[in-house]
Amino acid sequence: MLTIAPDIEVLARFGRALADPIRCQLLLALREAPAYPSDLADRIGVSRTRLSNHLACLRDCGLVVALPDGRRTRYELADERLGHALDDLRTAVIAVDADRTCADADADADEEGCC
């Protein structure tokens, strides 16, 4: 049975999906058009096994759906609004310190309780 997730859970799922560069590439590719796993693997440059694991994560997060297409399975974003959200996130202007990485910020957050 499908249910609507609370706002915080939706954001957490989206965050988990975006936390990996391969999943980001997949979401951006599917933003452009539905695709088959073999085409996505070739486009992104990863093995089909690795791609399958990332697609499973995106399905579990509720961001993509798998649609049977004859003997193949086609993937697409679960909701067209996700494409708009990805565009907004991609084009958002953020301030970053070029000398620091996300790992540095995570370490500081553990020590200081912020970030």
Say which CATH number the domain at 97 has: 1.10.10.10
Pick the residue with more confidence: 8 or 107?
A: 8
Task: With respect to residue 1, please indicate whether it lies within any of the assigned structural domains.
Answer: no
Task: With respect to residue 74, please indicate whether it lies within any of the assigned structural domains.
Answer: yes
Task: With respect to residue 15, please indicate whether it lies within any of the assigned structural domains.
Answer: yes
Task: With respect to residue 72, please indicate whether it lies within any of the assigned structural domains.
Answer: yes
**pLDDT confidence of 7, banded at 50, 70, 90?**
confident
State the pTM of this model. Answer: 0.76
pLDDT tens string 74-106: 999 999 999 999 998 888 867 667 776 666 555
Comparing 4-8, 26-30, 44-48, 110-114, the range with the smallest average pLDDT is: 110-114
Domain count, the chain: 1
The CB-side HSE value for 1 (13 A sphere, CA atoms) comes to 1
Q: Tell me the two tokens of residue 32.
A: 């452009």
Q: Identify the domain containing residue 56 by its residue range.
A: 7-112
Place of tokens 């452009």: 32
Give pLDDT, residue 12.
86
The Cβ of residue 2 has, within 10 Å, a number of other Cβ atoms equal to: 5
Q: Tell me the two tokens of residue 35.
A: 């695709």
Task: With respect to residue 76, please indicate whether it lies within any of the assigned structural domains.
Answer: yes
Place of tokens 């996300």: 102
Task: With respect to residue 18, please indicate whether it lies within any of the assigned structural domains.
Answer: yes
